[in-house]
Amino acid sequence: MCENPHVDTDRPAVAELMADVSAALAQRVSVLRAYRVGHARFFGRLLNELAEQTNDAEMLSTTALSMSRVVAEYIDQTSEGIVLAYEQEKEDWLRKRSAAQAARVRDLLSGKRIDVSAAEATLSYRLRQRHVGLVCWVGAAVSAADEISRLERATGHVARQAACYGDPLFLACDESSAWAWLPVGIRDTFGSAAATACTADADIDVHFAFGDPAEGTAGFLSSHQQAIAAQAVALAAEPPGPRVTTFSEVAPVALMLESGELLRGWLQATLADLATDDEHHARLRDTLRVFLRSGGSYKTTAEQLMIHKNTVQYRIRKAQESLGRPLDENRLGVELALLAGHWLGPAVLRPAAGRRRPTADGVQVNRVAFGPIGPTPRRAGARGQVPAGPRIARAVQPPRGSARGRRRHR
């Protein structure tokens, strides 16, 4: 019954079967599991048939072992071939699916009128809801082969933490950055606190920029544009830059990035000596920014900065001296200039006397050239990565104990 067993998996019929089965199963079940289940059921029926044919225990044992080798050889050869065919089929399917999704996204971002139902079917994503546009990228210091996979995992983590209404739409932009859309249903707020909370446990090397929630196909575009603008602000900060940036908190700065030279000149003229890039003026700027944001409350400012109220009063007085005029004059302009200085730092501030920015090989670094689409680095990093720009140096607050400590803190 088992003489000269031979399994020929090279026949055209078997090869054709592999391709057909792989195509059918590529999107449904695990091929390997299907073969394991089939193997178990086949061998069970084989043993039952042998038991009906003879009662000779030695023949049963010998035949079962022989058939076991035949079946194992068949499963090994066939599963190897079918897995290769399956992987190729799956890769082709994913490539076509990704290309189709990318084309749909391009149509949406171009503002074209589209068939919403067809687009939803292609994207596996509901467009008739509110979306939060997201841009994520890996820091310049990171170099890994699976960066897109890391970004996709990080996006999925953010969506779960944000309690989204379904899976996010993810689209790789290049080898180290990606675009995504978070389905937030009917929610109309997604502020900096929510963004920070849902990214807290994500990969520390991944940076995020969020747009505001917006509805429908128009919101799909607008929230994405806001996320791109928020990313532009983050990339203009000194390495490593802010890990999480939301458009709602940097909107004025993002809009001012249209012309970097005009912004730099306007900020330095508006803040006068307060635009000096040193630790002393950085403390004054930070205190004045919080003071104006809190409606001019010394108490609220002290609580937010965790310093004494008298220290706040002292710093506000010194900040006004550096401005050279009362706060009531051009208060809105001062507040906007402080916000831009907070996010862009040395890219727009006036260098302190006798201080130069770092250089390498005679080329000034950590400088950002601004154009109509946001910041572009003067020197590109490895693999086209964008070196981020300046960050305000934050002084470490000394203990509040002695008068000497308080004077130093001021």
Domain 257-349+390-409: top CATH class: mainly alpha
Domain 125-253: top CATH class: alpha beta
State the Cα–Cα distance between residues 315 and 31, nearest whole angstrom: 69
H-helix or E-strand spanning residue 88: helix 57-110
First to last CA, the chain: 97
Helix intervals (H) in 111-181: 116-123, 147-161
CATH 3.30.70 residue window(s) in the chain: 125-253
State the Cα–Cα distance between residues 328 and 17, nearest whole angstrom: 81
DSSP 229-298: HHHHHHHTSSTT--SEEEHHHHHHHHHHTT-HHHHHHHHHHHHGGGGEESHHHHHHHHHHHHHHHTTS-H
State the Cα–Cα distance between residues 168 and 184, nearest whole angstrom: 9
Q: How far is CA 175 from CA 79, 101, 157, 405, in A?
A: 33, 18, 20, 49
pLDDT of 84: 80
Instruction: Tokens for 170, please give them.
Output: 């993810």
Averaged over 346-362, what is the pLDDT? 65
36-50, 51-65, 200-214, 231-245: range with highest mean pLDDT: 200-214
Rg (CA), the chain: 31
Who has greater pLDDT, 82 or 248? Answer: 248
Tokens 């446990």: give the residue. Answer: 201
Q: In this predicted structure, which of 239-248, 261-270, 386-395 has the lowest mean pLDDT? A: 386-395
pLDDT tens for 145-186 read 578 889 999 999 999 999 999 999 999 988 889 999 999 989
For residue 214, the cross-strand partners are 131
pLDDT at 281 over 60: yes
CATH 1.10.10 residue window(s) in the chain: 257-349+390-409
Tokens 């906007």: give the residue. Answer: 336
pLDDT of 374: 38
- The answer to whether the beta carbons of residues 375 and 389 sit under 8 Å apart is yes
Say what percent of the chain tops pLDDT 70: 77
Burial of 14 (0-12, 13-18, 19+ CB in 10 A): middle
pLDDT at 297 over 90: yes
DSSP 66-81: HHHHHHHHHHHHHHHH
